[in-house]
Amino acid sequence: MKMVRDCPQAKWFPSRHRFALFRLLALIRLRLSEPPKMDVDHLLLAIDPDQSAAEHYIITLWIIITLTCYFASMVAWPIAFLIAATVIQAGIVVGGLVVRGATSEIHSKRNSFFLMTAIVATSVYFAMQTSPARYAAWFFLAMVSLNALAWLILRILRNTVRELEAQCAS
């Protein structure tokens, strides 16, 4: 794994984010805002797509709210929340067992794809219903589309990203 030393602006490197939308936002922030100041003696930052705390907390929260909205179209809100939390846990275990390969034990990427596909499929289903949950589903699908658009933009800007990230030598 690539690490950068004493370069606080690396916190906003797009490659430290998982989803294209967040990578694009990170790029905008990196270009427009002042570089953060060093407030410690030394800093060692990992260049890994799962490094952004804000991104992962937002996504988690968004997924749980979306699923709660879906279940709330069938049961009361508090119960819907509990079902959503349980379904996610069960989905992870079931997904983990289903996608576990014979050769590799590290299957979080495949499980990620499995779970995201399941959530998108569920959203498509609810988007076609007449219940108010369809608004949550439309919003979810809109965000997925926006993420695809951000991916395209980043493809076009990939050289800019590379140059910006090269400012911190590893």
Q: Which residues bind another protein (CB under 8 A)?
A: 1, 3, 18-19, 40-46, 48, 50-51, 53, 55-57, 59-61, 63-64, 85, 88-89, 92-93, 95-96, 100, 105-109, 111-112, 115-116
CB atoms under 10 Å from CB of 125, counted, come to: 13
Please name the residues in contact with 92: beta carbons below 8 A apart, sequence gap of 6 or more: 111, 115
Q: Which of 43, 87, 71, 84 is nearest to 132 (CA)?
A: 71
- Least distance (Å) from another protein to the CB of residue 47? 10
Closer residue to another protein, CB minimum distance, 85 or 142: 85
Closer residue to another protein, CB minimum distance, 86 or 160: 86
- Least distance (Å) from another protein to the CB of residue 109? 8
Closer residue to another protein, CB minimum distance, 131 or 147: 147
2 beta partners: 47
Backbone torsions φ then ψ of 4, nearest 5 degrees:
-115, 145
